[in-house]
Amino acid sequence: MDASQLAEPVRDRFERLSAGIALYVETGHLTRSAKIAQVSRSVLIRQLNRCVTLADDGRLYGWAGLLHGMRTCDYRRKKSPPNHNDNDRNGHAGAFTQFLTEHPEIQDKLDALILGRRISGEVAEARVSAKTAWSRLCGWCFDAGVDQQSYPLNTKSQGRRSVARYIDQLVQRSPHGAVDTRFGENAAYKLRFGTARSSPISALAPFDIAQCDAHKIDCIGTLEITGPVGPQFVPIERLWLIAYLDSYSRCVLGYSVGITTQPSAQTIEAAFVAANVPWQPMEASILGIKYAQGAGFPSGLIPELAQCSPCVLNLDNAMQHYSHVIAEHLRRRLGCIIAYGGLADWGHNALLERWFKTLETRGFQRLPSTTGSHPGDTRARTPVRTASRLGITYQQLLYLADVLCANYNATPHRSLGGQSPLEVLRAFAQRELDAPLLPALPAPSWNSPALGVEIVMPVVRGSIRQGRRPYVEFGGARYSNENLQSAWHLIGKRIVVHVPRDARTCDAYFSNGFALGELTILHSGWGRYAHTLEMRRKIQASDDVKVLDDDPIQGFSRTLATRVEKRSRKRPNKISHDATFLADLERESGVTVATTTAPKRSTQEPHIRPLTHRLKPVVWKGR
């Protein structure tokens, strides 16, 4: 114990008692020890007993028991409760605790009411106030036969202040059971942290632990449709940003953007694909927003870290993370352990969640079409109408997301000793004396394809009698090549097909892994524009594709754009689900979104479209 800050009289008393007790414990001479402590022998023994008393946390009080005024046991009132003639506010110490001890049934009801537990015959009230608890206590007192002449009803406040103090004491004694009920789930979750216990698993080097999660950005974008009256900006749903972050270096290794109501497993997998594909800066689409010096991603700036994977991947309990694409294909391809967090356990990916907040406050929440961080945020003022009026397109949001992520990687962090995440990874990759063993991915094979590849096993069809050469059909399109067309013996058998993100071509293999080569679409309009297999299935499920066999993607986009344009005229400030799908179709395939009656677009249209509300350059603050 540190006694240097005690007042001089208190410190003298403490030093005398501690010296006497130490001598008594060592020698057993009580009289000589009491003389050194300058107290009687009984006082010395009493002070020694205080030192060896157990505290509430199970530890001994130790030398702190010698401090004057230090309580080593709970106060218990021995005097009878105040009578009806005692109107003085003094002399009521311990009376309420004494009352609850004498009436345990009232104490049980009061505890249940405060902690949100169900009382027999009653419905539990959420976050009961001190005033309500006191009024209920008065009712229980009458039911128990406590009259107005007895405590606590005979006092001036009738125990109201005592109930308020009791609530605070009960919450402090059992915080894990009371905080959730009284202050919400978020406060109860935070209570789990700050226990001075180290995490059972922590990153000691880059790529030890990675985190991945999806975030819905706080901003509204639009899709530009060329109609008979010119360009029209239709609001779409908020974009999803899926980020893949290294826990040790805080570096964003890759990300993907989903233009959909809910991100699919393929969109999440695309974030890992981006982390292993050489990064290139996007073409500028917002004036005043540009890449910082040295900004970018490891896949484009640090060649030594190409095709690296983490040892442990932290995911939350989103339904997409339990899909076969993530739980099996991604895990096997990366060769990592997937650690799923608990339900509503945002601390499992705390670094990534904090990064999402930084991304919003430094970027999307500064746009005029922001939705704000919460319903009461004053920054959110008619975001849908503002996005349509100013023409804030989803392409501009994609560019802003890429710039923000790239600039973040080049920003120094206080937690990294003033280094940027890219500098930490670069130093890790370029060490010479104790060169690390980089966790590189193996080359893809027929049974372990690259990320972003979907595996299908169709049956080879064809007929030599009818003159139909062998082919396979899936997703509403037929595929074949010269090798397959001459393999008549494969008819009726299954082969393994690897379908990449651009489903116009795919790679075929025998069941033993022998390559059949690249298959292409036969005599179909599906081969004109790039598209994913998932997108083709959505188009085929629509009722608008039945008359669009010649060019299904272009025809579908025009038909859907015409419908979106007509509906947006009636409700211009309404978010369109069809426009959201069209935006995703335009980004994937590059098809021009225009109505059937739209005039031809000018080829002199500028590439850079400034925002009406010009943003200042983003300045990151080190954390």
500 is a domain residue: yes
Final residue in a domain of this structure, among 481, 503, 522: 522
Domain count, the chain: 4
Tell me what pLDDT residue 604 has.
Answer: 43
Rounded to 5°, angle at Cα 509 from 506 and 512: 160
pLDDT in tens, 230-260: 788 999 999 999 999 999 999 999 999 999 9
Encoding tokens for residue 403? 């710039």
C-beta separation of 458 from 464 below 8 A = no
Q: What is the CATH number of the domain that holds 516?
A: 2.30.30
Give the list of residues 6+ apart from residue 322 with CB closer than 8 angstroms, or none: none
Q: Give the separation between CA 187 and CA 176, rounded to whole angstroms.
A: 10
374 is a domain residue: yes
Final residue in a domain of this structure, among 190, 218, 236: 190
Whether 220 and 298 map to the same domain: the answer is: yes
Minimal CA–CA distance to 238: which of 121, 365, 70? 365
More confident residue, 228 or 121: 228
Q: What are 194's strand-pairing partners? A: none
Overall average pLDDT of the 577-584 stretch: 93
Tell me what pLDDT residue 177 has.
Answer: 66
Q: Give the separation between CA 259 and CA 587, rounded to whole angstroms.
A: 9
620 is a domain residue: no
Confidence check: pLDDT of 437 > 70: yes
Final residue in a domain of this structure, among 395, 429, 463: 429
More confident residue, 142 or 345: 142
Tell me what pLDDT residue 398 has.
Answer: 95
615 is a domain residue: no
161 is a domain residue: yes
Whether 342 and 382 map to the same domain: the answer is: yes
Q: Give the separation between CA 470 and CA 40, rounded to whole angstroms.
A: 107
Overall average pLDDT of the 425-445 stretch: 78
> Which of 100-104, 216-220, 317-321 ranks highest by mean pLDDT?
216-220
Tell me what pLDDT residue 611 has.
Answer: 53
Whether 381 and 242 map to the same domain: the answer is: yes
Whether 364 and 245 map to the same domain: the answer is: yes
C-beta separation of 28 from 48 below 8 A = no
Confidence check: pLDDT of 606 > 50: no
Lowest-pLDDT choice from 261-265, 334-338, 408-412, 427-431: 427-431
Q: Give the separation between CA 34 and CA 31, rounded to whole angstroms.
A: 5
Lowest-pLDDT choice from 167-176, 385-394, 406-415: 167-176
Q: Radius of gyration over alpha carbons of the chain, in Å? A: 36
Whether 141 and 238 map to the same domain: the answer is: no
Tell me what pLDDT residue 154 has.
Answer: 82
Whether 149 and 223 map to the same domain: the answer is: no
Whether 241 and 372 map to the same domain: the answer is: yes
Tell me what pLDDT residue 304 has.
Answer: 87
CB-side neighbour CA atoms (13 Å) of 314: 24
Whether 400 and 311 map to the same domain: the answer is: yes
Q: Give the separation between CA 204 and CA 194, rounded to whole angstroms.
A: 21
Whether 399 and 480 map to the same domain: the answer is: no
Confidence check: pLDDT of 86 > 60: no
pLDDT in tens, 359-394: 999 899 999 999 998 888 888 889 999 999 999 999
Q: Which residue do the tokens 């080359």 mark?
A: 443
Give the list of residues 6+ apart from residue 514 with CB closer than 8 angstroms, or none: none
Q: How confident is the model at residue 614 (pLDDT cuts 50, 70, 90)?
A: very low
Tell me what pLDDT residue 192 has.
Answer: 67
Q: Give the separation between CA 22 and CA 507, rounded to whole angstroms.
A: 83
Whether 227 and 340 map to the same domain: the answer is: yes
In the chain, the percentage of residues whose pLDDT exceeds 90 is: 42
73 is a domain residue: no
Whether 232 and 303 map to the same domain: the answer is: yes
Confidence check: pLDDT of 196 > 80: no
Tell me what pLDDT residue 296 has.
Answer: 95
More confident residue, 547 or 444: 444
Q: Give the separation between CA 167 and CA 112, rounded to whole angstroms.
A: 11
Q: How confident is the model at residue 579 (pLDDT cuts 50, 70, 90)?
A: very high
Tell me what pLDDT residue 613 has.
Answer: 45
Which structural domain, as residue segments, surrounds residue 338?
Answer: 209-429
C-beta separation of 289 from 612 below 8 A = no
Overall average pLDDT of the 353-359 stretch: 93
Amino acid at site 341: G
Q: What is the CATH number of the domain that holds 224?
A: 3.30.420.10
Whether 184 and 213 map to the same domain: the answer is: no
Question: How much is the mean pLDDT over the chain?
Answer: 85
472 is a domain residue: yes
Encoding tokens for residue 473? 């059909």
Tell me what pLDDT residue 85 has.
Answer: 53
DSSP 208-250: SEEEEEEEE-SB--EEEEEETTEEEEEE-PPPEEEEEEETTT-
Encoding tokens for residue 343? 């339900």
Tell me what pLDDT residue 541 has.
Answer: 83
Confidence check: pLDDT of 343 > 90: no
Encoding tokens for residue 487? 């393999």
Overall average pLDDT of the 531-536 stretch: 90
